[in-house]
Amino acid sequence: MNRPSARANRGQADGRDVESHGRTVLRHSLMTFGTRMGIVLVNIPTSILIARLLGTEGQGTYASAVAFPTMFAFIGLMGIDSAHTYLLSRRRYPLSQINAQSLILTLAFTAVIVPLYLLFLKYYDGASDPALRSILTMGVFLVPILLAKYFAIALFLGLQRIRWFNAANFIQAAALLGFMCVNLFVIKGGAMGALTAYMASEVLVVAVGVGVAVRGSRDGNPGAEIGDDTQRGAVLSMPSLGLLRKSLVYGVQGHVGNILTQFTYRFDMFLVLSMVGLKGQGLYSISVLMAEKLSHIPQSVQVVLFPKLSSMTVEEANELTPRVMRSSLLLTAVAGVVLYLLSGPLLVLFYSVEFAPALSAFRILIPGIVALSIAKILSSDFSGRDKRIYQTIATAIAFGVNVVLCFAWIPRYGIEGAAWASTAAYTLQSSIMVVLFSRLSGRGVFESLIVRGEDLALYGRTLRRLVTRGD
């Protein structure tokens, strides 16, 4: 038998590496998805409590008080949290420097974002009601908490501490349920108390992040080998200008796209509140809340895939991403069909007949969320390649379409118009991104979307390993 050539050996080794990476991503994704399903089981009674005890208008008030500060915090972050994940995955800078930069930027961004948020509330027509304006103003305290949380999540993912990431999210969900019970049954604090409960639960994620930062530094301070010896074992050390420069360049490159993504996800809620009112906002927020349960599947993969791709070669990424994308799309589509069929009974059972008008918007959103699973996976791929501009291009086009359709359809069709606008924008965004990925990687569109026999074999092997090892 002829000895295989060095090139053949290298190809076989690359194939084994991709297979190994695929098993790791699948295993961690299943673990993350399992945790998210546990969180869903906790969040369902939480959302039921809020909806039933606050009513449609109270639900709309609470949803707005959470959504508005979240958007301001996310926009103000400038994508630096993603840069931290990328740089930690590639061991570019010491952990102690990234910890210190996270702390400094949390304080600096808070000082800038808070006044801008208050200025927005002053001139926002949708917050003309004094009671609503009061709770939206209270939401300003959520801004620094969310900034610190985003940096904590970047730390979990950059260090590939997936178990801690999952644990922190589950703790937050469980604590929120407990705090909501106290607020709604004991204190009876209404929407204001619900917002306070939400803020308290998010603080716990930050606390877990601080613990991981301290432990990671003491265990070896990843990346410290490129810095001074004094940085090894230190929790905080003065961040270099190079770290800040690289974080800004990487972050801003894709941040416009991320901002537009968030606007595409949430812009309709701003317009529904302004054009339909608090009751419409309450109904639509429940439609979005239930439909977005489907996004737990691609998001479970997304959080694992980004740091993994950041540490891989281009050739490995070209092999791994299509496998992951077509599997995620299949699972999300199957779950979408099931959710569509059960949507009517579930909506009334969980949220009462008062929220029944939300059903049509909920069903309209389902195919859009399924299509969006493609964009979520590819956002991790583009970020891992440091090609975030591709996501920005696709999202900018989709956002423009979303804005036009929202203004055209919400006044005429109400929350159903908002749902159709979102579904159209999600589908367009994913379509553009998969074409860009195909040109970037040389992989065909159908190769990235249609499940193959090798994928089914991988599922079987991974599940057998999980059962055998109990991992």
Give the pLDDT confidence of 134-153 residue by residue, as tens digits.
889 999 999 999 999 999 99
Sorting pLDDT into bands at 50, 70 and 90, what band is 459? low
Q: Is the pLDDT of residue 229 over 90?
A: no
Longest dimension (CA), the chain: 84
Q: In the prediction, which pLDDT does 19 show?
A: 53
Sorting pLDDT into bands at 50, 70 and 90, what band is 411? very high
Q: Please state the rounded mean pLDDT for residues 394-406.
A: 91
CA angle (372 as vertex; 366, 377 as ends), nearest 5: 140
Please state which of the ranges 135-144, 224-233, 294-303 shows the lowest mean pLDDT.
224-233
Give the residue, 231 or 196, on which the prediction is more confident: 196
Q: Please state the rounded mean pLDDT for residues 201-211.
A: 92
Q: In the prediction, which pLDDT does 9 show?
A: 42
Give the residue, 107 or 215, on which the prediction is more confident: 107
Q: Please state the rounded mean pLDDT for residues 245-257.
A: 83
* 208 φ, ψ (degrees, to nearest 5): -65, -40
Give the residue, 152 or 220, on which the prediction is more confident: 152
| Mean pLDDT taken over the chain | 82
Most confident residue range from 54-68, 174-188, 402-416: 402-416
* CA trace torsion 419, 327, 74, 417 (10° rounding): 0
Contact 284, 272 (CB under 8 A): yes
Q: Please state the rounded mean pLDDT for residues 6-25.
A: 49
- Whole-model pTM: value is 0.67
Distance between first and last Cα of the chain: 40
Contact 435, 381 (CB under 8 A): no
pLDDT in tens, 54-111: 887 888 888 888 988 998 998 899 889 989 988 888 787 889 999 999 999 999 999 9
Q: In the prediction, which pLDDT does 13 show?
A: 43
* 23 φ, ψ (degrees, to nearest 5): -65, -40
Rounded Cα distance, 453 and 441, in Å: 21
pLDDT in tens, 21-42: 555 665 666 666 677 677 777 7
CA 41 vs CA 36, 44, 45, 46, 174: distances in Å: 9, 6, 7, 9, 10
Give the residue, 176 or 224, on which the prediction is more confident: 176
Contact 248, 80 (CB under 8 A): yes
Q: In the prediction, which pLDDT does 461 show?
A: 63
Residues in Cβ contact with 219 at an 8 Å cutoff, skipping those fewer than 6 apart:
none
Sorting pLDDT into bands at 50, 70 and 90, what band is 327? confident
Q: Is the pLDDT of residue 255 over 80?
A: no
